[in-house]
Amino acid sequence: MNNHVVNTSSANARIVLYRAMTRVIIYGLLMPATTLAAQTIVESEYPGHPDLILSDEPLVSIGVLEGPMEYMFGEVTGAIRLEDGSVVVADEQSYEVRMFDAGGQHMWTSGSQGEGPGEYGGLRMLRACPGSAITVFDWHLDRITELDAEGNVTDTRRLGEVGVNSYSEPVCAPDASLVFTPWPETDYASLTVGEIYRWSMSLNWARNDTVTILRSGIPGVERFFYGGGTGPREWGKAMVFAATGTGVWYGSGDDYELEHVDWSGRVTRIARWIGPDQDVTTEHLDRYLSAYLARYDTPAERQRFESERWPDIRNDLPKQFPAFEADGLMALPDGSLWVTTFGWRSPDQELHLLHPSGSWVARLVIPARSTLLDAGPDWVLLRERGEFGEHSVAVYELVEADDAD
C-alpha cells in the first residue's frame, strides 16, 4: 500500500491510504463480553486516487428520439448490465423490460400493464440479486418478479406475504435476502398545513420469511404536509442504504457520513469524508427560480409567478442541501460503494467511490441530466436525457484523469 503510515496506539490509529489522508479510529464499545465489538471510524480528507472520468465514447449506447419502437424509451426507471455485457432496461411508461446485447442490438421485450404474471403496475430493476438473471420490483403491486436471460417469468411473489412493506425499492443482499425500509407510522392529525417534518425510519432485513430490524430511529425522509396529504420536501434529506456481504451501509444525508451495520445489528464502521459544500447560496436560488420561470410563455405569467408564488417556495427551501441523492448509494460486488452527491448543488453530477473499508478512493463527475443506474469496477451504466427529454442508456469505461491527458 503506497504511503502507508500507521501509529499503533491501542486507542486509535492514523493511516494514510492510497495517498489519501485517512484517519482510522477504533473504539472498544462498552458491551457484555458475548457481544463485544470494535467500531472503526474512517475519515478521509480527499480521495486517494486521481479523479475518474468517462471514456470519450461509450462502449454501447441504446435509445433514440425517433426510430424503431424497441429503441424508444418513455421513462427509463432502471437498467442493469449482465456479465456478458448485455443490458436490460426497464421502461415504466410502456411497462416493458427489454434486453439488448453487448453491441446494443435488441434481443427481446417482456411485460405489459396488468396484474398477472409478467405484468406490471410499476417498474424498477433490482441489482445483483443471486439466483435470478433479472429481478423486477413492482412498487405498485408490491411484488417481485424474476426473469431468466430469455425474458421468461420464473417466479412471482408478493412482498406483503413475508412482512415486507417497503417505502422505497428494496435492495438484494449477496445471500438473496432483501433489505428494506418500511413505511413509518405518521400521526397526520397532529400536523399543520405547511409543516415540514421528518420521518424516523428503520432498516429491516427479510430472510427466510423472517423480518429482523437491524437499526431503528434513523433520520429519514423530510416531508411537507399540504393539507390533503404529504410529499417529500423540495431539496429535502432522505435515508440511503446499500447491502454488502458484511452488512448494510446507510446514511441520513445530513452530512458526508455513512454507518455500516453488520447482520447482527451492530454498527461496526463509520465512514466520514469531506464532500462538496452543502450551503444553499443565492446562485442556487437564482438558478432554481430561472428553471421555474422557463415554464411560462409570457412576461406577465413569469412576473405573476415571481411575485405571488416564488416567495413561499423560496422560504420553504432548506438552508443546506442534502449530502446524497435519495437513491444515491450503490454497492459493488467487492463491497465498494458509489455515492451520488446531491445534484442541484452544481450543473454536473459528482459521484464518490468508497473502498469497502469506508475510505474515499476516487471522484467521478458525470454530465448533467445523467443518472447512475449500474456499475462495475471499471465501468458505469448511465441514464441520459436528450435535448427533448428523451431517455437513453449508455455504458462508459472509467479512466483516470491523469491517463487521459
The CATH code of the domain that includes 69 is 2.120.10.30
pLDDT for residue 263 is more than 80: yes
Could you give the percent of the chain with pLDDT greater than 90?
81
Tell me if 305 is assigned to some domain.
no
Please state, in angstroms and as integers, the Cα–Cα distance from residue 113 to each residue in 123, 134, 149, 310, following that order.
10, 18, 21, 38
3-state SS string for 327-371 = EEEEECCCCCEEEEECHHHCCCEEEEEECCCCCEEEEEEECCCEE
CA 138 centroid distance within chain = 17
Q: What are phi and psi of 33, to 5 degrees?
A: -60, -30
Contact in structure between 169 and 126 (CB atoms under 8 Å): yes
pLDDT > 60? residue 28: no
For the segment 326-337, what is each residue's pLDDT rounded down to a tens digit? 999 999 999 999
* Residue 177 one-letter amino acid: S
Instruction: For strands 119-120 and 112-113, give the pairing.
Output: parallel
pLDDT at 403 over 80: no
146 domain-assigned:
yes
Q: Which amino acid is at 247?
A: G
Q: What's the grid cell of residue 163?
A: 412482512
In a domain, 263, yes or no: yes
pTM of the model: 0.89
Any idea which of 64-73, 112-121, 186-195, 243-252 has the lowest mean pLDDT? 186-195
Spacing of C-alpha 204 from chain mean position: 17
The per-residue pLDDT for range 213-230, each reduced to its tens digit, is 999 999 999 999 988 889
Confirm whether 289 is domain-assigned: no
Whether the per-residue pLDDT at 17 is higher than 70: the answer is no
- Grid coordinates representing 178? 432483501
CB 31 within 8 A of CB 47: no
Distance, in Å, from the CA atom of 201 to the CA atom of 192, rounded to the nearest integer, reads 21
Q: What are 89-120's pLDDT values in tens digits?
A: 999 999 999 999 999 999 999 999 999 999 99
- Can you tell me which residue has the cell 503506497? 2
Separation CA 73–CA 86 (nearest Å): 17
Report if residue 78 sits inside a domain.
yes
In contact, 274 and 45? CB cutoff 8 Å: yes
Residue 63 lies in a domain: yes
Strand-strand pairing, 20-28 and 12-17: antiparallel
- Structural domain includes residue 199: yes
Number of folded domains that form the chain: 1
In a domain, 371, yes or no: yes
What pLDDT is attached to residue 35?
Answer: 36
Domain boundaries, position 212: 12-280+317-404
Whether residue 37 is predicted with pLDDT greater than 70 in this model: the reply is no
Whether 109 and 97 have beta carbons less than 8 Å apart is answered as yes
